[in-house]
Chains A and B, each alone.
Chain A
Amino acid sequence: MKCEACRQNAIISSSNGTFCVDHFKSNFEKITLSTIKKYKLINDGETIAVANSGGKDSLSLLYIIAKYFKKKNSIISITIDEGIKGYRDKTIETMKTYCDAWGVTYKIYSYGDFAGATMDAITKLKPGIPCGTCGVLRRHMLNFSAAENRADKMATAHNMDDEAENVMMNLFQNDFEKLIRLGPISGISQYKGFVPRIKPFMFISEKETMLFSMVNGINALHTPCPYAGLGFRGVISRKIKELESEMPGSKRYMLDLMMELKREYSDSYVENPRSQLVNCAACGAPASEEICEACNVKMQIKRLKPN
């Protein structure tokens, strides 16, 4: 395959095009910046918190945000330390190295401090697939940390594969409201204490994100979370990759359909949301119930922990 821009040998062929190293890099940045511009994800003067695990995706995101937005915006890197030995401790070291190199301030928040137990300990206390519990805690802590640091937006490195998985999962769970809450800027409601999440990589595939980190010499750990791939998402993820290989462009079509539905129906859900947000009685964070999911998990862990 030849690069569609210069006819040199290509390193990637995807729904975003077929490119050599140099044109892949420039096209990757172009798509990211045009997503940011088109959906007004970052405005001048805003404080942007970047969810940064120290892995390939989030470091690539921080690289681009630091490169293009550092002059007009305040950038802070936020890391959630789940407490996964031999994995997160390594990526945290990588995160620190790159934040120092790119001149970005970083902060680390841990499950240990919030929930009183690390993810490794939680998996022992609560048998079964841990991804649901981990997701609840991570989302809560990302929002908490972004709010604590007075961020206007929280940027995450969710990519096209992640979003296509979300579309499929919500379809299979018949959750239309969650489906139309997806998109480059999350949520359909404005609420005090809730920091909107932005996804500048939404139109870029997982493979492209991994490749971008490699060709830019971002030396991230190329191994997944040891608990990954165990849940429903793992099944959907494998199926979507099969589908994309059989029918190139199918991930993008899923996203286009979701965006079309969002345009058509999100207004009616803003006016009549299924559930109103309240403040969690325990921690004060925005929640759909009296006690938020994260505080419920925290209380459950406390009950399960041996005295």
Chain B
Amino acid sequence: MVKIIVKNINFGEKQVEIKTGKVEELIKKLRTTDDAVLIVDENGDIYTKDKKLKDGSTINMIEVFSGG
């Protein structure tokens, strides 16, 4: 299992375990969709859904929303 720390403005921070480490799997596990979020690591690198995350990585899940 791959453990990922996910930070998000709504739920704060939580650890999520996924099998493959793929962003796509993480998004599904968090019950959201690729079109609704941006996945960004602590260096500001942006991840597409096919990318693999390393065990122990920390990422920010930024929700896409309308307006401002």
Contacts and interface: CB of A to CB of B under 8 A. Distances in A.
A57 B67 contact: yes
Contacts, number: 76
B48 A237 contact: no
Contacts of A221: 68
Interface string B41-52: 000001011110
Given A91-B68, A223-B9, A228-B66, A13 B48 contact: yes
Contact of A210 (B34, B49, B64): B64
Given A13-B48, A54-B68, A210-B38, A222 B33 contact: no
Interface residues of B, number: 19
A207 B68 contact: no
B66 A207 contact: no
A206 B9 contact: no
Contacts of B35: 205, 207, 241, 244-245
A211 B67 contact: no
Interface residues of A, number: 40
Interface in B26-68: 33-36, 38, 40, 46, 48-51, 62-68
A11 interface: yes
B38 A55 contact: no
A211 B68 contact: no
Contact of B66 (A10, A162, A220): A162
Contacts of A238: 36
A226 to B, nearest CB: 11
A241 B36 contact: yes
A145 interface: no
Contacts of B68: 53-59, 91, 220-221, 224-225
A289 interface: no
B68 to A, nearest CB: 1
Interface in A190-246: 205-207, 210-211, 214-215, 220-225, 228-229, 237-238, 241-242, 244-245
Contacts of A57: 66-68
A225 B67 contact: yes
A245 B34 contact: yes
Contact of B33 (A1, A53, A220, A242): A242
A150 to B, nearest CB: 26
Contacts of A162: 66
A278 interface: no
B66 A206 contact: yes
A210 B67 contact: no
A245 B50 contact: no
Contacts of B40: 214
B9 to A, nearest CB: 6
A228 B66 CA distance: 9
A92 B63 CA distance: 21
A12 interface: yes
Contacts of B48: 1, 10-13, 18
B64 A228 contact: no
5 contacts: A18-B48, A161-B66, A207-B38, A210-B64, A229-B65
Interface of A: 1, 10-13, 18, 21, 53-59, 91, 159, 161-162, 165, 205-207, 210-211, 214-215, 220-225, 228-229, 237-238, 241-242, 244-245
Given A55-B68, A245-B33, 4 more contacts: A162-B66, A206-B65, A222-B9, A241-B35
Which 3 A-B residue pairs are closest in the complex by CB-CB distance? A55-B68, A245-B33, A224-B65
